[in-house]
Amino acid sequence: MASSEGNKLWGGRFVGNTDPIMEKFNASIAYDQRMWEADIKGSKAYVKALQKAGLVTQNEMEQILTGLDKVFDEWSKGEFKIKPGDEDIHTANERRLKVATDMRLWLRDTINTLKELALQLISTMVERAAVEIEILCPGYTHMQRAQPIRWSHWILSHAVALSRDVERLEDIRKHVNVMPLGSFFHSPELNFDSISINSMDATGQRDFVAEFLFWASMCLTHLSKMAEDLILYSTKEFSFITLTDAYSTGSSLMPQKKNADSLELIRSKAGRVFGRCAGFLMTLKGLPSTYNKDLQEDKEAMFDTYDTVHAVLQVATGVISTLMVNQPAMERALSPDMLATDLAYLLVRKGMPFREAHSCAGKAVYIAESKNIHLSQITVEDLQTVSPLFDKDVSSVWDYNRSVEQYSAPGGTARSSVTAQIEHFRTWLQAQKQKP
């Protein structure tokens, strides 16, 4: 056949040339060439399976393996030349050696990389929490000051979310590590956990890609929320933390500004990944059975998401390990009104039901506001107009350290509870690092 299609894997049926724009539109090589190493690994296993099945001779197998090693060498040295006719990564290698590939190998390895980065971030957070365990700051709900907490308690709240992400990633790895060519051959050397039991499903299902994209969306949700808190805490109004210059930028107009660009970019990258996830699900939802060219979108979504999460985890670790805490500013932000719940607890300890005690504490807050004084400045006499149960011992309530120490149950913000969380994470991190 005279046409260029004669050299394509599918060219025999076609007459005439493809529109060059269509050829470019159809090709996936530009982004899936990243899988060259996984492709060669899969191809080597495949040719060994063919030899075992008697479909190629020992000599042919050795020639192909030698050729694959040569291709590996060319890729690793950056010498491999992609030609216009190469549609995707396995066609590019098949131009030389006629073998197949598998994207699951690539994702399986990159999942390990992301897990390591996530564990590094969690470890950084845990050790920071251990060092700064004595620092108190306001806790917030609805963006309003709520109750005093340990700064470490805030750090660990985000570490807990990330630890769920690590565990979810391990589950996804099991779903990724299924041999899709299991319907044809199975190679122990590729270390797949299981094989696909149906070839029609194997060619068309991309659940593992969708799961990875959702995982990334969830992980970046957690990191975006943490970034949002830190952006607020770094403002002059809060002044709880200061980012180092390495993770900040200046203003092109206002010399005094120090912008938390690293955190803002973490926040924005979450939106980028959500788009990839939603877009790919839209691609999947209307497909008929088995393989359709629409699935070419899988690798670009997967690679872009991997690159984004890979960068975000590293930047987040850098920010957390280098930010400076302004302890005096955090403690200045503590105010007696944050101890109104403690005031209610005092009455509960004296036998009053909490519903009634909550109402009494609310009345005390109202008195303080109407007199324009701190809650702690209300006289015992004024408090007794609210409830006769109030006495001189009310003075013990106005102590922030005492307040946090009463929350000593598991998961609380008392020193013992936060220490237990730190120890839990150290043990958990050790166990994670020992997993294969």
Residues recognised as catalytic: 142, 251
By CB neighbour count within 10 A (0-12 exposed, 13-18 middle, 19+ buried), where does 331 fall? middle
DSSP 8-state secondary structure symbol assigned to residue 189: G
> Which residues lie closer than 8 Å to 131 by C-beta, 6 or more apart?
none
Q: Is the dihedral of CA 15, 88, 303, 202 positive or negative?
A: positive
Instruction: Report the alpha-carbon distance of residue 154 to residue 138 in Å, rounded.
Output: 10
**Of 397, 405, 406, nearest in space to 338 by CA:** 397
- Say how many residues make up the chain: 436
**Of 236, 208, 221, nearest in space to 107 by CA:** 208
Contact 51, 57 (CB under 8 A): yes
DSSP strand E in 105-212: where?
136-141, 144-150, 178-179, 194-195
| Phi, psi (degrees; rounded to nearest 5) at 393 | -65, -5
Name the residue with tokens 């549609």.
Answer: 87
DSSP 8-state secondary structure symbol assigned to residue 18: P
| Phi, psi (degrees; rounded to nearest 5) at 55 | -90, -20
Instruction: Report the alpha-carbon distance of residue 340 to residue 230 in Å, rounded.
Output: 26
